[in-house]
């Protein structure tokens, strides 16, 4: 079943909080609001980038969408089906449609399994293929990501980092997912092979009609592979839109500062935006009003008191009292 409006994924007001472990039973209960009211709409075949500093909630957001975590608030609709609190068979069906590519291809592959077994594992668990069929499909997938039939019989330690990430991608594709979430898919890899993996992902997207959510702190990677981008600060999206719009005409001071920190070849982009000062605030006690205000060069009294609403102009969202 496909959603009538062509949306593959819709996320409304998603929130996820973690209880902070208390040192004593007399201490007040505190929470980290890791994801705090996020809205996302992803069309079939589209690639959305998620950008933000370490600790801003990117991985938690991905794990909620994949329903590895159950969110504390909000709604996740995949292909017209509400999966926010799905269980049992409904959850298994959703899991077939969404797969994860991990950051670290060294830690995420079981060293005792051969490449072919690693790719076959999800087929054995969730498909009705016979053993021989699953084997052939696994080898076919490994070939599709650029490995050979002979390499399919090797163990993870016999591969380079880039090759291991190829195995991770083949494994993610085993069940014909519609959506692949990739959390920092190339940041553990050598700079020289990052482009190869990103190009492979782009080619597979074309060939298989996939949609991606790509998490990265590297704006160049987002620029290279994404159609749209969402900028996250302390569990909230502060700006979202087409990559070209957001990167060429950033409207939020935080996005401007992120872009200013990137060495740029285009002199128009060497903008006057201030560098971001200070660290991400303590997430158990976020600042009142706009949570970015303590680090924002434009902050006014209003920003200190009132959280900004998101406004949209030509499909470009921004949550700021003083956007450009």
Ligand X SMILES: Nc1ncnc2c1ncn2[C@@H]1O[C@H](COP(=O)(O)OP(=O)(O)O)[C@@H](O)[C@H]1O
For ligand X, the binding residues (CB under 6 A) are: 18, 32, 34, 52, 54-60, 283
If phi over 0 gives left and psi between -120 and 50 gives alpha, with beta otherwise, what is residue 62? alpha
Residue (61 or 116) nearer to Mg ion, CB: 61
Q: Look up residue 273 and give its DSSP letter.
A: P
- Contact segment (CB under 5 A) with Mg ion among 10-18, 52-60, 63-71, 83-91 equals 52-60
* 245: its two tokens: 């719009």
* Smallest separation, CB 70 to ligand X (Å): 13
- Which of ligand X, Mg ion, none has residue 74 at its interface (CB below 5 to 8 Å by kind)? none
Residue in 246, 252, 244, 301 with CA at minimum distance from that of residue 273: 252
* Smallest separation, CB 3 to ligand X (Å): 27
- DSSP state letters, 290-323: STTGGG-TT--HHHHHSPPPEEEETTEEEE-SS-
* Smallest separation, CB 54 to Mg ion (Å): 7
Residue (61 or 138) nearer to ligand X, CB: 61
Is residue 59 near Mg ion by the rule CB under 5 A?
Answer: yes
DSSP helix, strand, coil percent of the chain (3-state; round to 5) = 35, 25, 40
- Contact segment (CB under 5 A) with Mg ion among 45-53, 59-67, 135-143, 238-246 equals 59-67
* Smallest separation, CB 283 to ligand X (Å): 4
Residue (151 or 255) nearer to ligand X, CB: 255
Residue (71 or 308) nearer to Mg ion, CB: 71
Site string for Mg ion, 219-248 (x = CB under 5 A): ------------------------------
Angle between helices 161-173 and 131-144 (to 10 degrees): 130
Q: Which residues pair with 110 in a beta bridge?
A: none
> Which phi and psi angles does 314 have, rounded to 5°?
50, 45
Residue in 211, 213, 221, 203 with CA at minimum distance from that of residue 146: 203
Residue (58 or 137) nearer to ligand X, CB: 58
* Smallest separation, CB 230 to Mg ion (Å): 15
> Sign of torsion, CA 90 94 96 101?
negative
- Which of Mg ion, ligand X, none has residue 24 at its interface (CB below 5 to 8 Å by kind)? none
31 Cβ partners below 8 Å, 6+ apart? 17, 18, 19, 20, 284
- Which of Mg ion, ligand X, none has residue 56 at its interface (CB below 5 to 8 Å by kind)? ligand X
* Smallest separation, CB 155 to ligand X (Å): 29
Applying CB under 5 A, the residues found at the interface with Mg ion are: 58-59
């Amino acid at each position: 079943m496909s959603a009538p409006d062509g949306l593959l994924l819709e996320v409304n007001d998603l929130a996820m909080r973690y209880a902070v472990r208390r040192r004593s039973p007399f201490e007040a209960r505190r929470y980290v609001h890791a994801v705090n009211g996020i809205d996302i709409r992803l069309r079939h075949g589209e690639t959305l980038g998620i950008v933000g500093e370490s600790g801003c909630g990117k991985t938690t957001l991905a794990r909620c969408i994949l329903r590895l975590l159950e969110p504390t608030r909000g709604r996740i609709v995949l292909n017209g089906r509400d999966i926010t609190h799905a269980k049992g068979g409904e959850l298994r069906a959703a899991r077939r449609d969404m797969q994860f590519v991990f950051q670290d291809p060294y830690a995420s592959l079981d060293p005792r399994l051969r490449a072919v077994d690693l790719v076959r594992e999800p087929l054995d668990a969730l498909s009705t293929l016979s053993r021989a069929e699953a084997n052939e499909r696994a080898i076919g997938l490994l070939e599709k990501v650029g490995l050979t039939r002979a390499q399919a019989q090797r163990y993870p330690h016999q591969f380079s980092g880039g090759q291991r990430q190829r195995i991770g991608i083949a494994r993610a594709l085993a069940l014909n997912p519609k959506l692949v979430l990739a959390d920092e898919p190339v940041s553990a890899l050598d700079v020289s092979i990052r482009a190869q993996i990103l190009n492979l992902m782009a080619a597979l997207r074309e060939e298989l009609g996939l949609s991606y959510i790509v998490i990265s702190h590297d704006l160049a990677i987002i620029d290279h592979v994404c159609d749209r981008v969402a900028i996250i600060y302390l569990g909230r999206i502060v700006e979202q839109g087409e990559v070209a719009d957001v990167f060429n005409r950033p409207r939020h001071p935080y996005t401007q500062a992120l872009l200013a920190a990137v060495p740029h070849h285009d002199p128009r982009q060497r903008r006057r935006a201030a560098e971001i000062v200070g660290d991400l605030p303590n997430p158990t006690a976020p600042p009142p009003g706009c949570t970015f205000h303590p680090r924002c060069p434009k902050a006014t009294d209003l920003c200190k008191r009132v959280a900004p609403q998101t406004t949209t102009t030509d499909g470009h969202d921004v949550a700021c009292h003083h956007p450009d």
